[in-house]
Structure 1
């Protein structure tokens, strides 16, 4: 099945939930009782300073890491009981760095997303090729399909990563700071693309104004704990920015939909 995905419902296989998840690394508590349940078809932004646990949480949600306590479920099933290939058909991950092999063509890199749908050593099917064509079209890469990835810009390589994820035909997309190393135009373009996918997306971001523009729901982490969660207009306050990031800011709501805009004024003297 390719093309425009059907409308999402709560039982469409997208029901990812982390319930009181904790994780330690090197004796330090990296995640501390995190609960997260992204709504189907929405973009949830993970915010927090470096070391707050964003990347670890994404890896736990993806099943790459196992929580020490708590449980992550997908469609009600504990993630550890979901076969790896079945998980890869439902959940796709876009890493922080565009690491596509530079000697692959764009089309071949995107075809890697079909691996979970194919038996070992079996040739690609017409459905596989249609999924690849659809993923290229949705990411604006059709005219670059036969170029090698090494000839692309950073923003284009990130689009290849997203296209490869879309070729998996997942219902859930996890993205770890996909806008890092991109200029502002490509950051906005990429997040516009993510928001238009009609998938359940969880994306870790550093830029608070980009998060306010593009996310439906925000979860803010500090030292591995959720300190705020809700729509951007409720979460992104001057007090939160000061408490979590140690930065003085003014927050206004110039847009008709109430999305906040943050103007940074300088660091606070009490934050270390």
Structure 2
């Protein structure tokens, strides 16, 4: 069993932000959440994390409703990496990573050997050893995201939820960050805007449009020229590339615009 959403909806102010969505990741899978701005990706992640209660349907963890579990119990299993993270406190990198152990400790307890071991493992996995005593505020965007993933891994979760972790990063750091995520031995659900990155790194995709599921399946099943046109209102050519035939998308133009070519394809690479 794992983290699952069954026919969940979330209504705010009379508007349905998520409508009847079901999601059942397999252990160790990387699931990509796709969709235009306002399609419900971040809202669905909040439901999966238990940050917001579903208006209908149910989110379960190992078959138990999240609402029936203590927040600390959920935090020991489910880690969240937000799109933007900042602090006004002058913390160094090691202090930020240590925050991931809060769900496992008492309010005033000192770090235990198992806490230190979890932090060391998270640091090693994210290759942050050279930055441990560097101030958080001096880091680049890509380095900050790596620290946030290390903080999440220090929780020792079985599920990792990430809200557009590659936003505002250059291509090199996008590729490095997603490689880090898929090589992490947990189940990951990651919201992404870049369709080619989703095709390259995700095992399965869930595409949302106005809170509804527009498509679900493997990248080859989901990322078609018809879906890109219907969901994103953009013309594209989709071709299989790489040894595993994952789709590569070349965008042509926005529907109804006078432009002839809106960009080029990022080559698919094998994991």
Q: Would you call these one fold, judging by a TM-score over 0.5? A: yes
Residue 140 of structure 1: aligned partner = 127
Moved more, 20-29 or 259-268: 20-29
1:53 matches 2:32: no
Q: Considering only aligned residues, what root-mean-square deviation do their CA atoms show, in Å? A: 1.1
Residue 156 of structure 2: aligned partner = 169
1:219 matches 2:214: no
Aligned length in residues: 257
Q: Secondary structure at the match of 1:87?
A: helix
Q: Following TM superposition, by how much is the alpha carbon of 1:98 offset from its aligned partner in structure 2, in angstroms?
A: 3.0
1:111 matches 2:111: no
Moved more, 42-51 or 99-108: 99-108
Structure-1 separation of matches of 2:193 and 2:204: 15
Q: Secondary structure at the match of 2:110?
A: coil
Structure-2 separation of matches of 1:166 and 1:100: 19
1:263 matches 2:250: yes
1:41 matches 2:34: no
Residue 58 of structure 2: aligned partner = 71
Q: Following TM superposition, by how much is the alpha carbon of 1:29 offset from its aligned partner in structure 2, in angstroms?
A: 1.0
Residue 143 of structure 2: aligned partner = 156
Q: Following TM superposition, by how much is the alpha carbon of 1:102 offset from its aligned partner in structure 2, in angstroms?
A: 5.8
Structure-2 separation of matches of 1:198 and 1:231: 20
CA offsets 1:175-230 (integer angstroms, 9 cap, x no match): 00000010011011000000000210000000000000010000000010011000
Structure-1 separation of matches of 2:82 and 2:241: 33
Q: Secondary structure at the match of 1:159?
A: helix
Structure-2 separation of matches of 1:180 and 1:168: 23
Q: Following TM superposition, by how much is the alpha carbon of 1:235 offset from its aligned partner in structure 2, in angstroms?
A: 0.3
Q: Following TM superposition, by how much is the alpha carbon of 1:101 offset from its aligned partner in structure 2, in angstroms?
A: 5.0
1:254 matches 2:241: yes
C-alpha distance 172-97 of structure 1, shift in aligned 2 (>3 A): same
Q: Secondary structure at the match of 2:241?
A: coil
Q: Following TM superposition, by how much is the alpha carbon of 1:269 offset from its aligned partner in structure 2, in angstroms?
A: 2.2
1:20 matches 2:7: yes
Q: Following TM superposition, by how much is the alpha carbon of 1:103 offset from its aligned partner in structure 2, in angstroms?
A: 1.2
Gaps of 5+ in 2: 258-271
Gaps of 5+ in 1: 1-9
Q: Following TM superposition, by how much is the alpha carbon of 1:100 offset from its aligned partner in structure 2, in angstroms?
A: 4.6
Indicate conservation of the 8 Å contact 1:22/1:33, yes or no: yes
| 2:220 maps to which of 233, 255, 264 | 233
| 1:197 maps to which of 180, 184, 189 | 184
